[in-house]
Structure 1
Amino acid sequence: MHKYWGKKPSSDLGALIRKYSDEGDTVLDPFSGYGVFCCEAFLLNRNVISNDLNPIANFLNIQLLEKDVDLELLKKQWTEISNQFEPFVNKWFQWDINNKTVQLLSVLRDKNDTPIKAKYKINGSRKAQEIELDKNNVHRFIEYENSQTIEDWYPVTSLIENSRISAKKDMTVSDVFTKRTLSCHAKLLSLIEELSSGKEKDLFKVAFTANLANCSKLVPPIKSRGDMSAGAWMTGFYTGETY
C-alpha cells in the first residue's frame, strides 16, 4: 500500500524544465518518486530517464507515463470483475438488526478487534443509522467472522518489530486488516488477476493498492466529529484505540 503524493500542482515544475532544458533534451531524475517531475518534462517534449530505489514508486511512475491503456476494455473488465465481486461483498456486509435485514456500511472496533458500534442502512433506505452493539450482536458478529475461511491468496509477510509504532512481535501484513476487509480485498485482487491483463490490469492494481491503507486498521476515526466519523491514513504506521 502507498500514499499517492499527487498533492502539489506538477505544472509549477514546468518553469524549471523550460529554464534549464530545451525540447528534445533528456531529463534525468534518479530519485523520481512516482515520477511527477519526469511526467511534466515528458509533456514538455523532453526525453526522460526516471528511476527510484523503491519498486512501488517505479511501478507508479510507469503507470503515470503509460498512454496505451484501452479504456473501453478497462470498463468491460471492470464490469466482469464487479459482477462477481458484488455478491461476495454483500455476503460479508449483510446483517440482521431487530429482525430486519440491513447493509453494514462500517464497523467500529477497539484495539482488541472487538466490534463496538456499526453504521448501516436498511435495505431500500438511503438514510444511514448507527447502533451500539450489545453482547449478543458482538458475539454473533465474531462467531460469523471466525467461521469464514479466506480461500484467496493474501500476504503473510512478517513485519519488523518496532516499539515506536504499531509493529508488534510476530505481526504480519495481514494483521493490519480485519478478517472481513482482508477477505474482500483478497477476493478483489484474485478477480483482477483472473479477469484482467496487461496495462489494464496494472492500472487496476494502482487503484487497488492506493485504497488499501484507507481500508486498514491504520485509519482512526476523527473523534471530534463522532465515534464513527471516517478518518484518513496519513502514512504513519499506528493503530489507535479504535478503528
Structure 2
Amino acid sequence: MELKPLIIDLDDLAPVENRKWHDPSGYQGLYAFHKYWGKKPHELLAFIIERMSSRGEVVVDPFVGSGTAAREALLLGRRFIGCDINPVAIELTKLLSSPPNAREIEDNFDIVTNYAKARIMETYRTISPPNTASHFLWEGNTIKQVWHTTNGRKITKLEPTAHDLNLSKKFEGYKSSLISSPQFFTNTRINAGPDLNLNDLFTDRAIHNIDLLLEAIQTLPLEQQKILMLCLTAASGQMSKMVFAVTNRGKRRGETSSKVEVGSWVIGYWRPPTRFEVNVWNCFSRRVEKLISALATADPLTGTQIANNCNSVISGNHSVFVGCMDCRELLANLPHNSIDLIITDPPHSDRIPYLELSAMWNSLLSRDVNYKEEIVVSNAKERGKVLTNYTADIQEVINKMALVLKPSGIIVFLFNARSSTDWAALQPFIAPEDSTIPKTLHYIGSFPAQYSAGSVIQDNREGGLKYDYALVFSRNSEKMLTKEYRATLSEIPGWSKQAPSIVSSAGTTA
C-alpha cells in the first residue's frame, strides 16, 4: 500500500503558546468529582487531540481510565471510541461523555434523602449534648473522641459517652447483604492480602449505612441509579477506615501542634491505627452536591447518545462508544485503516495496579472484574503478572493499533518508568530507522507530559518521576510528514526527535 504524507489542516490548530497544557492546573469541575489513579491533565489531552486530529475524525483510547480523553475529544468535535478492563473506569467515562443535568440528580437525591437520611443519621445520634456526630476519632479498636459541628462550621470535640460506645457496638458483626465481596491479592505495596474483606475496610456501622444508601438508590430506575452509585464510590474512601488522623503538623519546622485534623484516603488499603470514622451520610451528600455544582452550568455533552458498538461511531451514526473489555478485543473489532488518532495512557509496568486499587469501588458497584486479562505488572505473585508477559502484551497491543490506524494516522503513547527493563516493550518501536527490526510504526519524537498540579500519584521524592513522555508514532516515517506539520511538532515545548535516553539501555526481545 502506498503511504501518503500526513496532512492536517493547520487552520484547525490553535497556537501552542496559547495553551496551558505544559503547566496544567489541578483537577476541577467534573474532573475533580471522582478519584482515579494517575489521571492525566485535561489540558494535555485536549492539546494532543486538537493538534494531532481534525474535527469529525475518529479518536481511540484503548485504556480510557477516568475518561478524560473521551470528554476532551467530544468537546473538540471528534468522534470517540474507547474501552477499559476496569468497570468503574467505564462508568466514569460514560459520565464524562454524557453527563446528566443537575436537576435530574437533585430529584433523585431527594428520593434517596427521604428514604435513607434520617435512618443513617440516627446511627450517629449523641445525647450529651443532643446532636449528630460528624466524626469519631479511633485509636486501635477504641473510640477516643466524638466530634459534631454547630451551625455547620464550629467543631466540638468530646470524650465518648457510654451511649456513644454502646451505639457503635450495636452494629458489631454486621455483614452486608448488598455489597459484593471484593477480591484482593497478596500485594504489600498497597497493603492488601487475600483475607482482606469489607469489614476490614469499613466499620460495621459504616457498612450498615452504605447498605441503607444502596437500598435507597435501588428504588430508582436502573439508568438513574448509575450516577448516584458513582457518588457512592467517589465518597467511599472517606467512609472507610483509611481516613488517617493528621497529627504533629509543623514538626519539620519545630512548631509541633497537638491539634488533630481529618486526613483523607489517598491510595492503597492502609488502615492507620489512629484514624477517623466519618458520618456516611455527610460523605455521600457532599459528593452529590459536588457533582451538582460541577453541572450547575449546562454541559454541552448532556444528552449525548452512547453507541452500543464501535461500528456505529465509525459509520458516523453516533459520536461515542465506550465498552468494558480487554483492549485487544476492541482493537480486533475495529476495521483496518480506519482510525485517525490513538491516544492512550496504558499501565506503566508496575507503577499502578489499577484493578487491585479499584477493588473496593467495583465491589460497591457489584461488578465482576476480569483480573486475568489485565495488562500490568503486579507484586501479587499469585496473579502471574510479570514483566515478560507485560512486555509481550504491550507489544501485541501496539501492533494491533498499527493495523487499525489510517496510513496518515498518529499514535500518542503516554509512558514513563524508572527502569530500562520496563521500557523493553516500547524499544522495538522506538529503535532507529536504520535498525534491522521490522517496522509497523515509525517513531516521530516525544515531548514531556506534565502531571496535574497536586496530583497524589506524583512522586516528589528525589529520583521520582516528574513527568511522562508523550511518544508520537506514525505509519509514515518522519521524512514523509509534510514540512508544515514537522514545523508544528518542533514548536511543542520540549519536543525531541531523539528517543528518551533510558530506552537505549532497554532490551529488544519481546
CA-to-aligned-CA distance 1:5-36 (integer Å, 9 cap, x gap):
69764133222222211111111111221221
What is the match of residue 371 of structure 2? Answer: none
What is the match of residue 84 of structure 1? Answer: 115
Structure 2 residue aligned with 1:174, among 187, 199, 216? 199
Change (3 A) 1:232 1:150: same
State the AA in 2 paired with 1:157: P
Structure 2 residue aligned with 1:130, among 148, 157, 172? 157
Change (3 A) 1:44 1:138: closer
After alignment, is 10-19 or 54-63 more displaced? 10-19
After alignment, is 226-235 or 78-87 more displaced? 226-235
State the AA in 1 paired with 2:45: L
Q: How many angstroms apart in 2 are the aligned matches of 1:116 and 1:195?
A: 39
What is the match of residue 205 of structure 1? Answer: 229
After alignment, is 168-177 or 186-195 more displaced? 168-177
User: Gaps spanning 5+ residues in structure 1: where?
Assistant: none
Tell me if 1:107 matches 2:136: yes
Change (3 A) 1:216 1:145: same
Change (3 A) 1:115 1:155: farther
User: Gaps spanning 5+ residues in structure 2: where?
Assistant: 1-33, 250-257, 276-510
Q: How many angstroms apart in 2 are the aligned matches of 1:228 and 1:80?
A: 36
Offset, 1:48: 0.8
- RMSD of the alignment, in Å? 2.8
Structure 2 residue aligned with 1:183, among 181, 192, 208? 208
Tell me if 1:218 matches 2:242: yes
Q: The residue matched to 1:208 in structure 2 has which SS? A: helix
What is the match of residue 54 of structure 1? Answer: 86
Offset, 1:177: 0.3
Offset, 1:64: 1.0
Change (3 A) 1:7 1:166: closer
What is the match of residue 193 of structure 1? Answer: 218
State the AA in 2 paired with 1:74: I
- Amino-acid identity (%): 25
Q: The residue matched to 2:50 in structure 1 has which SS? A: helix
What is the match of residue 145 of structure 1? Answer: 171
Answer with 1 or 2: which has the greater Rg: 2
Offset, 1:172: 1.0
Query: 8 Å contact 1:152–1:187 — kept in the other structure?
Result: no
Q: The residue matched to 1:50 in structure 2 has which SS? A: strand
Change (3 A) 1:174 1:44: same
After alignment, is 51-60 or 217-226 more displaced? 217-226
Q: How many residues align?
A: 234
Q: How many angstroms apart in 2 are the aligned matches of 1:151 and 1:91?
A: 19
Q: The residue matched to 2:218 in structure 1 has which SS? A: helix
Structure 2 residue aligned with 1:116, among 144, 153, 157? 144
Q: The residue matched to 1:27 in structure 2 has which SS? A: strand
State the AA in 2 paired with 1:233: W
Structure 2 residue aligned with 1:15, among 41, 47, 51? 47
CA-to-aligned-CA distance 1:21-56 (integer Å, 9 cap, x gap):
111111111122122112111111111111122222
State the AA in 1 paired with 2:120: V
Report the structure, 1 or 2, having the larger helix content: 1
TM-score normalised by structure 1 residue count: 0.82
State the AA in 1 paired with 2:111: E
After alignment, is 46-55 or 155-164 more displaced? 155-164
Change (3 A) 1:133 1:168: farther
TM-score normalised by structure 2 residue count: 0.42
Query: 8 Å contact 2:40–2:68 — kept in the other structure?
Result: no
Query: 8 Å contact 1:108–1:228 — kept in the other structure?
Result: no
State the AA in 1 paired with 2:171: E
Q: The residue matched to 1:22 in structure 2 has which SS? A: coil
CA-to-aligned-CA distance 1:134-159 (integer Å, 9 cap, x gap):
7x46753443333x856752333353
